[in-house]
Amino acid sequence: MKNVLSQITMLLALLVLGPGTLAAQNFTHDDTLRGSITAERAWWDLMHYNLSVKVDVDKKTISGNNQIRYKVLGAGNAMQVDLQPPLQLEKAVQNGRELPIRKIGTNAYLLDMMEPQVPGELKTVTVWYSGTPREAKRAPWDGGFSWDNTTDGRPFIATSCQGLGASVWWPCKDHMYDEPDQGMGINVTVRNDLMDVSNGRLDSVSYNNGEATRTFHWSVKNPINNYGVNVNIAPYTHFVDSYMGEKGKLSLDYYVLMPSLVQASNQFQQVKQMLEAFEYWFGPYPFYEDGYKLVEVPYLGMEHQSSVTYGNGFQNGYRGTDLSGTGWGLKWDFIIVHESGHEWFANNITYRDIADMWIHESFTNYSEGLFTEYHYGKEAGAAYIKGCRKLIANVRPIIGIYGVNQEGSTDMYYKGGNMLHTIRQVVGNDEKWRETLRGLNRDFYHQTVDGKQIEEYVSKAAGINLQRVFDQYLRETSIPVLEYKVAKKSLSYRWTSCVPGFDMRVKVTTAPGVYEFIYPTTEWKKTAVRLDSLEEFSVDDNFYIFTKDLRK
């Protein structure tokens, strides 16, 4: 029991602080090449990938090619393609002509184009690569290839690469701003006794005579972000279900190891509960054309688009624990709910720069509370969200540094979720708030966005200027403090520890049992109250703020 508690404590610390949280960051040329829209990226618009990969499970090597179809936006004579060592980019061909390749930095290559790149034209370049991909150290947080084994010693393999980058295992335009508008093909060759599960729908399986291998051909119809692409290889067993949702019949495909079949058949019933709740709050599942899959993997799980990975042990909570400490987190499976929530916030609406990773994690952490509310009531959902406040560190801002592939603090999870819960209270109209969440997924459908776009959209939908609220919670580490004093039937109050001009309205008791909005600023204000005693005064704890009674 002590060892289990120690592991839980370590995991929670990593979730809250992350590795190297307090270390100074020195950015390099490689960081800029990866994190910025370089001139060698800007002139072409990605339209489609057709990725072919052969996985040698015995040697732990991969080889293959990626056919990149793109639209020319402007004149360009060099194309940046990213691939991380120890993998090597070996060849690039366009229209039968091999292109010169120059390596720049550690993780990027420039392809020198041999023919004019005329704006408006559609073109294709194919690149070949091979090598031993980086092995995941602590998937999914420090990803790559996970080479594991089933209990009977057969291969159990998976990829994960958020933050680290998809170029850790396949050559691509490894920046989040540009997704393939027309989707992609994923063709994975494995041993005959194994199966590959990737994104989208399985078109066919072809057998390679004389090689004792077979190739799984998957097709993704929708745009897909780079880190959402995955390979999962094992002796899987497959079972199916369906869900009648807002856009009709949605296919549900489940791939698990045979010993897990009975547990998975029971636990995965929660997928329908997840879909019911999230379609209510966020709108239709964004990838009906590609279906929904849940795939067992040897690590905790990840939000791979239409191929959500699962390793939570077929139990409720986060590895059997309730992160909120309220009991509500043990009513449902954390990985099914959280990672599937990313289908709306991460895979449908995707950050353009990882500095705005809060778009993914704040909304998806908040979705855990909304799931709880939908199935167990509003008070239960609020209790879950508030219970997670103990995991907030308030050490670094939630937003990272733009252009250098740097994410912000892991407070983007629990602080971000509480920020959104607070904004809901400020809006003060639950139906308007629900429409705001649905509107985000409708109006930014299958798009990459900047954080500012989301901030402005929420303000406009709410009819309230929330810019200082976003500035306070996303760009500062301090939590606003409401200073107050009650005397002679009047309440005096102001905001401190806040950004200049902070003016978020908040609910307090102005009469016994009555909550009403007050409108504090950074200057002292006064409001008449009808309280018989000081003990009757309180601030609505659904607002993530601190309070200070100046009479004490």
Three-class secondary structure assignment of 384-453: HHHHHHHHCCCCCCCCCCCCCCCCCCCHHHHHHHHHHHHHHHHHCCHHHHHHHHHHHHHHCCCEEECHHH
**CA geometry: angle at 202 spanning 199 and 204, to 5°?**
140
Q: Which CATH number fits domain 39-234: 3.40.50.20, 3.40.50.720, 2.60.40.1730, 2.40.50.100?
A: 2.60.40.1730
**Domains of the chain, residue spans:** 39-234, 256-477, 481-549
**How many whole angstroms separate alpha carbon 442 and alpha carbon 247?**
13
Q: Does domain 256-477 have CATH number 1.10.390.10?
A: yes
**How many whole angstroms separate alpha carbon 496 and alpha carbon 82?**
47
Nearest to 531 by CA among 483, 482, 491, 484: 491
* Strands (DSSP E) found in 150-200: 155-160, 184-191, 195-197
End-to-end CA distance of the chain: 43
If one counts every other C-beta atom within 10 angstroms of the C-beta of residue 428, the result is 13
**How many whole angstroms separate alpha carbon 252 and alpha carbon 272?**
9
For strand 292-296 and strand 248-257, is the pairing parallel, antiparallel, or unpaired?
parallel
The token duo for 139 is 């998937």
pLDDT in tens, the chain (552 residues): 333 333 343 344 444 334 333 345 689 999 999 999 999 999 999 999 999 999 999 999 999 999 999 999 999 999 999 999 999 999 999 999 999 999 999 999 999 999 999 999 999 999 999 999 999 999 999 999 999 999 999 999 999 999 999 999 999 999 999 999 999 999 999 999 999 999 999 999 999 878 899 999 999 999 999 999 999 999 999 999 999 999 999 999 999 999 999 999 999 999 999 999 999 999 999 999 999 999 999 999 999 999 999 999 999 999 999 999 999 999 999 999 999 999 999 999 999 999 999 999 999 999 999 999 999 999 999 999 999 999 999 999 999 999 999 999 999 999 999 999 999 999 999 999 999 999 999 999 999 999 999 999 999 999 999 999 999 999 999 999 999 998 878 999 999 999 999 999 999 999 888 999 999 999 999 999 988 777 788 999 999 999 999 976
- pTM score of the predicted model: 0.94
